[in-house]
Structure 1
Amino acid sequence: MEWNSINTKDDIDKLMNVFGNFHDSCIKEVHYISGAYVNKDLEMNAINKRRNVTVVFQRQESNPSTIEVIFEKISKLNLAPVDERYDCVILDAFMDIFDGEIYWADSKNFDIHDIREYDDFTWICAESIRWRSIN
């Protein structure tokens, strides 16, 4: 499928409309690529030049039921998975652009201005975002 870029609030609105504001969705997978590595001579390249997080979301609706989102050049990933005593259903999500970065959170009540209050939420701050349907 074709990649869609998030550059404006209109792009955010499109994703939120296509994926129903993430209502009745869940995070299926998370994958992080730092850009750092050790080469064949065991020399460290310790620069996190990529900092990409790929998240696969699924929901209880079709068209699409599954999307892949790549958060590029992240500055923060706050992963707060719930344990097996509770469900992990995302009822609605937050997404906005602030100071040139894009924020996504697993609750519409997320407040960019008071981030310290959201350790119990999963949220990501990235320089750019791309997404696609992977049904």
Structure 2
Amino acid sequence: MLPVIAPVVSPEIVAALPHAVLADVRWYLDGRDGRDAFERAHVPGAVWVDLDRQLAAHDQPATEGRHPLPSPVEFAASMAELGIGDDTVVVAYDDTGGLTAGRLVVMLRMLGREAALLDGGLKAWALAGFDIETGPCDPPLPAV
């Protein structure tokens, strides 16, 4: 079944999706720490997704690139750890124009999952007047 949520959604649409999982997928090519950025500011209730650990294969030779895609089984398992299951609607964001959040959206949609990119990322969320949280979040309950 193909996803029915639009591939890019506004902050207002996201706010109207009470059961969606918000995924903060910040990662920086210059070596800054995405988790630190998450703990400084994130959408309330969001989970942090680690590009290096959860969106890339770890057993690929270096010739496969910096972040080769994990197998569908590995990817599904890492998403389940974040509370993202087969029926979960996911809205991903970052603060780099969708560079890393888009990867998560594409990977989920390739598996037929409901996933969208937050248009404008974290900045658009804040500019729309929605709350921002700081600090770490409680670990999500794993999806079954």
Q: Would you say same fold, with TM above 0.5? A: no
The one of the two structures with greater contact order (alpha-carbon pairs below 8 A, sep at least 6) is 2
Which structure features the higher share of strand residues? 1
TM-score of the pair, normalised by structure 2: 0.28
TM-score of the pair, normalised by structure 1: 0.30
Which structure features the higher share of helix residues? 2
Whose Rg is larger?
1
